[in-house]
Structure 1
């Protein structure tokens, strides 16, 4: 049985709909809660798949959250080896930082369901399965696409929404993994951020009902396609 190791920064921002897909494919899932569980270098580098999940902090806040530096350093070693690694939101920003790209706060928020503009590389990637489906955005920071990576998607306010470093490393700024049936956890957990940004939770709740089922099906195809395309790597 292969191991999928998930680095979690916030309890309700977990693997979501990706979890059942990994289990169906025979992965044993293990969570490590960042800042609570120690980062075991051998475990992190040896996992068959690493998924770095989201969270409400910025990769540049290493003074306030020192664990971010250690986490990024270990991710850098993993992606240098070409080991299968998926980053979502903060996770994608950590991969971008680990790959030498700039990650900055924008001073604004992109929160809610909205479609992506796929680049030609994105149209040829697993993201093609989204086919215009609105996805869940929930961020204020932005990353630059790392050198040598393919930029896959954009929105009008955030031109770097997804990137691929070869077939084995994928960074997604948006939340394909989010389970629309559990959106209330997000609305409660991020209530202060929503209020500060002037975002009405009722709109997100309604959009989750409207777009969630179709998006879950499309996201399942995206993740399955990416997993099918993984290549052997040198440990």
Structure 2
């Protein structure tokens, strides 16, 4: 199976132009016009590659290359298409476009895999009104609490659409994702690729600091009760 590096890189760079602000980085938050343009670009590339394209009820886009036995759980590969404000071009799109290039190469080879391959472009990975990993959580059925119809409506979504985005039980064999390195270790060692065996957990705390405001120039330091001074 032979991939086309030139085709892959051209698509990756063209996708990276959508929402790119020179000197500032990416402006492509989920549910924005730039995001919609990026998803449309990916949908068009998927159709050109001969994939069956579907956009689910939360805005995830999938391109399916049917295997010789469609009854088997499918292999999913991809990443997300949205970006944090000022983010880079390749965080997310690298995984989507490499999966698409793999699907193209398999189709051009003329011999299908036994399992179907689904290229996935998930939405709202980077947070916002819907919270982080929204699209993939909806797909996995892991949305812990329902979002208000008002909040969903602001993104053009509905509660019914969110419920319909959950993957059918037993339909996914595995999920693969090629991602940029978000640390210095492989690059420093000149290693091109690594396989993670774990990922750091994230915990967020909300802390309320209470103090007493007072005049900045005439209150002695030993009598000050500023909130940040007390916290230190």
More strand by share: 1
Structure showing greater Rg: 2
Which TM class, normalised by the smaller chain length?
Answer: under 0.3
Normalization by structure 1: what TM-score? 0.26
More helix by share: 1
